[in-house]
Every structure is written in structure tokens, then in C-alpha cells.
Amino acid sequence: MSPAPNYEFQEWWNKQRDHNHQFFTNDLLSLQITNPLPLPLPDPAADKDRSRSARQLSWLCLLRFQQLANCLASFANASLLLLRTANRRIFSTDSSSDSSASRLYRVIKFFLFLVILLLCFELVAFFKGWHFSPPSVAEAEAAVELVYAKWLEIRADYLAPPLQSLANVCIVLFLVQSVDRVVLILGCFWIKFRKLKPTAAMEYPAGRVEGENVEDYPMVLVQIPMCNEREVYQQSIAAVCIMDWPKERMLVQVLDDSDDVNVQLLIKAEVQKWQHRGVHILYRHRLIRTGYKAGNLKSAMNCDYVKNYEFVAIFDADFQPAPDFLKKTIPHFQGNDDIALVQTRWAFVNKDENLLTRLQNINLSFHFEVEQQVNGVFINFFGFNGTAGVWRIEALEDCGGWLERTTVEDMDIAVRAHLSGWKFVYLNDVKCLCELPESYEAYKKQQHRWHSGPMQLFRLCFFDILRSKVSMGKKANLIFLFFLLRKLILPFYSFTLFCIILPLTMFLPEAQLPAWVVCYVPGIMSVFNILPAPRSFPFIVPYLLFENTMSVTKFNAMISGLFRFGSSYEWIVTKKSGRSSEADLIAYEKESDTFMEATSLLRSSSDSGLEELSKLEATKKSLKTKRNRLYRKELALAFILLTASVRSLLSAQGIHFYFLLFQGELIDGHCVPGWEFHEIQSHGSMVDQTMGFGDQRREAPKPAPEDVKLCAVFCLCCVMLIANKLRPEAGQHRRRFFICQELLKRNINGAGKDAAPFVFVLDWNGH
């Protein structure tokens, strides 16, 4: 016969439901109670068979203790090994003279210690229930409760107001910079709609025309500055030497600042090879290597034969201009004596190599498609990109030539030429192939130089801008837009707002950042930035977070340049991998064959001497095992953001939690450079006896799996944001959870073994 139903639990349940009726308006819980089946009686014989002796139990306990000790020892060894590996691979790019970087790291480290301490304090308060009923100083009983009450008063009266004021200032700067981006986008749309672009007064015929007068072609000097460019020197020299321009009207200068004797010999041999083929090309090497690239170009322009040339084209060592480059750029100078510079667009041969190159492609595509084009069409001024451009030599001499006072000599000479009244032309449809940095270390050093140099230049030329004879509009554009807004304010508010203020508002909830500042406006700006590279749309979320995390490097560089710290004058050549030489060398070979037939030049027999140098090149290209490194500033910042995300989870702040979590994990991803996929080594071989090109075959890169992953992350973020809008209020959600937990606890602990089994059916209402 079955036992009688348990009416006691049913009555207790009805009382609790009536008492907490306001928390169950949405039918959060429904309870189904059924009568249990009769329980079988225990079998004494079976219990006797299952009994164990005391000796067996003691051996079993010893075995369990041994397994537990082995697990603890393994965990301790693994933790120790992880700490040793991390300590060994912690990489600091801070030189001995880089005091700003060390100061910034100490500040970030102190900030990390502070937020971890605050998180522990908030965890204690959360489990004590003080988040829902904050204690007061008068009613506090325990010492910890009194300390927490004092902390609430201090943060509300003294800490939150200045933090909120700083947040408001950064929000205003953020909005101003966003308006500037929108204006640039509208200007670009207007250019596309009206089909505005520079037009040349004349055109040169493609290819070589019989009977043409070479005097119609102006004298052009082509300069290739390089320094220890072992991986890319061949294709850059070859691309310049096969350009479609009369050879007697062009001179190529290879300006080698290499301190490696073997690289010097290789470059010198390459120059001699093209000299034997009839190309006017010279090799220059400075004994006193001062001034970096600016000093190299200045030394080359001091040669006596430079006065015979009218224009100078500059290409960095990893740039490969098309054969018709000069025929598309030089005509824009004809009939326009006030044009000083014709700048062309960069095209990237390795933009799909890994996630880092994809994100760089988004930034640089916006820079060339929007910023450079809009400034070139409407105000005839923009920053010279340092390469892939043609200068009028008269303009260079008029504004004082190359100066060695900053690490951004290209921007320096562009500003001085603009103040002297010269105009610039930007050609968006003329592209020059180049290579993007594929490692985070190389990219970080490049960005440090690009963001510290403008602050050096602004400090040096500020009074020159005020004293110049240009219009007030041009002065305002240079000071407020070109320097302050885009070079100083952008890294300042990006680092301060998203890496400092946002984590602090999690621990000081009295100061708040609106959701549109954290999510919506940055998302819209990211969409605008990706418009020039629409194929990169799946990377919009990593791009948004990556730009905020890179603000650490940019902010540090900006401070270094503004206050003249030692690292601001440090020039480190961006490491090249030479990936652009695979398909291009074949094309260069075909072009060179055509060039040889057209000019009726015989190949020199002295090329056989290159065999010794090719052997030297093959032996020097040894395969080095690259190890991942941990970048300490980025790693510390990642822990700060992840700690803040844990704190935001306690407060159920959805958008803030997702932003901090993804941003912290993204920093973790690039401070351990595992995202630099396809690091394929170069294998040198014998130089071809007829063409002299090295066999630089590489295995084809495997399809990058992060494309699918990033699309999934993007969709997940959208789903989370939509779900966040559908969720009920955070406090009501927490109360419902604690009621469910309490009901389960009471029923399980107090019902006894005779209680009826039950089933909870939860209706979460969309979350």
C-alpha cells in the first residue's frame, strides 16, 4: 500500500508563493508533484556481501590520498612550468633610454594590483549580500562591513565625481573625432558621386614608340633607400630598373645604409648586374650613418649631378612600382608649376596573410581612400607617406630639403612645403605594391615611430605655422585637425576612455559610461572605417577591439614624442619577410627579357661572379625557430580588462561585460603572438645565371581558419546584444535566482526521504 501524500510540503509551498507573489508574476516557476513509487526494502544479505573489512578500507583511503597527492603535485609542477615559461618569454621592447615606457608599465602594474584588490573586496560584499542592501556606517556591526560602508561613502563623494568629469571630457573629444570621420566619409562620397579626380595636362604613350623624341621626357632621379633589406632588395631594384621610361632620362640611386657587410655585397652585386644590362644605376653607401632615412636622402641629394634632374621618385625597399608608374605621375607636373608632390596609393601583397595584416589593411585603406583623397581634392595638402611619391626637386630645395630633426622626415618636409605655398596631388587609381608587417613586434615598433614623430614635429614647427604667410584656414587645419585631433587627441581619448575609465566605472558605479559610448557609436565608426575595404566586414568586431588595445602603444608613443623622451628618437627598420617576391619575380623576368630585346643589349659574362655571393646568401638565410613572446604592458592591460569584466558580471551590466571580456581576450591573443599565422621561412638558393633572381619559392599559405571563427564571434556578439535588450531588470533577475535557490535548498534539506519527487519547469522569458 502506497504512503499518504505529503501535504505538509504542499502547504509550505502555497504560503511561500502567496508571500512572494510580486516575484512570480511572470510564471517563473511551476511545480509538478507526483506520488512516489513504493521504495524496495533493503536486503540484509546484499548489504553483508557489499561490506568491506577495515584493512580494505584503510588501503582504499591510502590509494585515494595517493591519487590526490599526485594530482596536487602535477598541478603544482604544471603551474611552476607555466610561470617559468611566461617569465622566460616576457618580452619588453623598452630600451634603457625609454623612460616613458617603463613609467607607463609601472602605472599599469599598479592599476592592475588595485583592481584585483577591489575585485576581491567586491566579491566578499557580493556573497555577503551588501550589493543588494548596502550597509551604512551607523548600522555596521563587523569590521569588514564597516570598511565597506566607508568605501561606499569615499567612492561616492570623492572618487566618482572627478572620474565622471574626466569621462565627460573624453566623451566630448570622442564625439568631435567621430564628427571629423563622418565629414571625411561624406567628402569621399561626394568625390565618388561627382567623379572628381586630378587630371593631367598630357599623357605619355604606353610602351616604346619608334621615332619619339626622348627630350620630351624630363630627367627623373629614382632613389631606393634601404638598410639591411636582405629579403626584399632584389624585387625593389628590379621593379625600378624595368620601369617604362627612357634609360638616358632616368638615374637610379640605391642608397644602402646597411651595417651588414654581407648584405652590402649582395646589394652591390645586384646593382652591378643591372649596370651591365645598360641601366643607369648607382650604389651609394655612407660611412657616417647619421640621421637615419632623412640623413641618407639628404646625402644623396647633395651630389653634383642632381642639379641635372627635375624630379625625384622615392621608393622604400619593399615597394615595387608598376612599369608605367612614371608615365602616370609625371604628367601631373606638366603645366602646373605650383605642384610639389604627386603621391600614389599603396597596395598590399600580403593583406590576407594573417589577422594582423587584415586589420592593418582596414586602417590603411581608410587612410588612402578617404583621408588622403579628400584632403588632396579639397585642400591640396596631406602628409607625404615617405614612399611611392614623386617630388619636384625645386620644391624640395625651396623648403629647406631633408632635415634630420625628427623620425617622420616625410611629414616634416610636407608641412614645410605646404607652408611655402606648394600644392600636392594624390592619385588614388595609381597603386604601388608593398608589404605589411606580419608580426606584432614589427607592427608595434612601426606604430611607435609613426605616432611619436608627429608630436616631435608639432613641438618644433608650431611657431613656424603661426608665423607663416598661409591663410588662417590652412593654419587652423594644420594645428587643430592635422596635428591635435588626428595625432594627439585620438590616441589620448582612445586609451583613457576605453582602457582606463571604462574599467574604473565597473568598480566605481557612481560614475557611468552610456551604452552608446561603449558600443553603438564605436560600432558605427568601425563600419565607416571598413567601407573602403568591404571584404573585411567580418572582422569588424576584432577591428574595433584591436584599435582600442593598440591605443596603449600609440598613447605611449605620443607621450614620448611630446615630452622628448629617449624612445621618440629611436628608428627601428620594420622587419620584412619578402613575401611579395614570389609571383612578381616571374613578371620581372619577362619584363626584363622584353627590355633586353628592345634595347639590343647583350648580357655580360661577368654575371658568373655572382655565384659566390649566391652561396653566401644561401648560407646566411638560416632557419630560426621563432618563439612566441609575452608583451608585458599588453598582458597587464588584458588582466585589468578581464578583472573589470568579472566585476561587471556581478552587476549584470551586459554590454560593458561583453566589451571588456572580448577586448581583454583580444589583448591576450596579440600579446602572445599566436595569431601571426603562416610564418613561412625563406629558403635561398643559387642565383640564376641568366637573370640573377634567387629561387625564393615558399610553400603556399594554408587557408586561414580564423575567418570562420571571426564570423562566428561577430554573430555571437549580435545575438548577445539583442538578448541583452530582452532581459528583465538585473535586480529582479538576481532576486528570482536567489528565491529559486532557497526553495531548492529548503525542499532538499527539509523534506526527508519520504517526500515526493518534484520537477521544476523554468520559464526564463527570453534569457
Which residues carry out catalysis? 257, 410
Which triple of cell numbers denotes residue 569? 628618437
**β-pairing verdict for 281-285 and 630-631:** unpaired
Give a three-class secondary structure readout of 60-78: HHHHHHHHHHHHHHHHHHH
Question: How far, in Å, are 346, 428, 612 from residue 697 at the CA level?
Answer: 24, 32, 20
Adjacent-strand bridge partners of 91: 631
With beta carbons less than 8 A apart as the criterion, state whether 706 and 675 touch.
yes
User: CB within 8 A of 513, min separation 6: which ones?
Assistant: 167, 171, 497, 501, 502, 505, 656
With beta carbons less than 8 A apart as the criterion, state whether 358 and 438 touch.
no
Which triple of cell numbers denotes residue 527? 563600419
The residue among 238, 249, 244, 316 whose CA lies nearest residue 277 is 238
End-to-end CA distance of the chain: 44
Adjacent-strand bridge partners of 312: 221, 391
User: CB within 8 A of 566, min separation 6: which ones?
Assistant: 95, 97, 98, 99, 560
Adjacent-strand bridge partners of 252: 222, 281
**β-pairing verdict for 250-256 and 281-285:** parallel
**β-pairing verdict for 220-226 and 250-256:** parallel
User: CB within 8 A of 218, min separation 6: which ones?
Assistant: 249, 310, 311, 330, 333
Which triple of cell numbers denotes residue 607? 654575371
Helices (H), 511-581: 515, 521-530, 540-549, 551-562
With beta carbons less than 8 A apart as the criterion, state whether 588 and 693 touch.
yes
